[in-house]
Amino acid sequence: MNDDQLLRYSRHILLDDIGVEGQQRLLQSHALVIGAGGLGSPVALYLGTAGVGRLTLVDHDRVDLTNLQRQIAHNLSRVGQPKAESARESIAAINPDVQVRAITQRADAGWLDQAVVSADVVIDCSDNFATRHAVNAACVTHRRPLVAGAAIGFDGQISVYDPRDAGSPCYACVFPPDTTFEEVQCATMGVFAPLVGIIGTVQAAEALKLLAGVGTSLAGRLQMLDARSMEWTEIRLARLPQCPVCGTGTSEPRSAS
């Protein structure tokens, strides 16, 4: 690190759990962020300010006026601009040293199979089950830790799925791909503005811990937040032997392609 970096990241370096070595690991890391909306905004901003060396942001959508109630990486002047590009500009305004690649397309299975392999951590900030399952499958295939969050209304949830740990479940162990879940969108259900900030910030914290090698991750635990009462509930998660994605009942993890 040069003198400017030592000064910029001094508050991290002062932490015994991070120090110079942990900050150096962040600077050498690559994080893949799926979605640059409500959850992706705080994730991208905190990873950028914390000094994660390379960020790949993927989002096919464009900034809309209704996004500005909660998607803090964007502003009024960028309405109509691709969200990934807008988030890249916001990061550059705070920390221009971070290499940010903005991808303005859907994160489908084929693209994910190529992109996940080069990432050190994947943060899923998407808003639909199809994308979440595609991201999970690619992370299992390439053994990359996945930090997954969701938020709608006043309810949020967050967990880490780490295929490097033989005892850690994957996303499909908890939300089986053959189970029908009702898709709910904030466009019809609404979302409490700070909720996505709370969940997204926890996602950023979990990703930074994984990259810096600090503490214990949420792998094997699903935390749920009811923002009406600001009450957290935690559920312990187990890996399913017959999971169609990561289970031992299959000869190998299912490919994302």
pLDDT one-digit tens code per residue, 8-43:
999 999 999 999 999 999 999 999 999 999 999 999
Q: What is the pLDDT of residue 24?
A: 97
The pLDDT-based confidence of 186 (bands split at 50, 70, 90) is low
Q: What is the pLDDT of residue 153?
A: 95
Q: What is the pLDDT of residue 252?
A: 40
Q: What is the pLDDT of residue 227?
A: 98
Q: Is the pLDDT of residue 209 over 70?
A: yes
Catalytic residues: 186
Between 111-115, 181-185, 195-199, the lowest mean confidence (pLDDT) is in: 181-185
Report d(CA 132, CA 167) in Å as an integer.
21
Q: Is the pLDDT of residue 253 over 90?
A: no
Phi, psi angles (nearest 5°) of residue 178: -95, 5
Q: What is the pLDDT of residue 179?
A: 75
Q: pTM, whole model, 2 decimals?
A: 0.92
Structure tokens at 211: 């990259």
Was domain 3-236 assigned CATH 3.40.50.300? no
Q: What is the pLDDT of residue 250?
A: 41
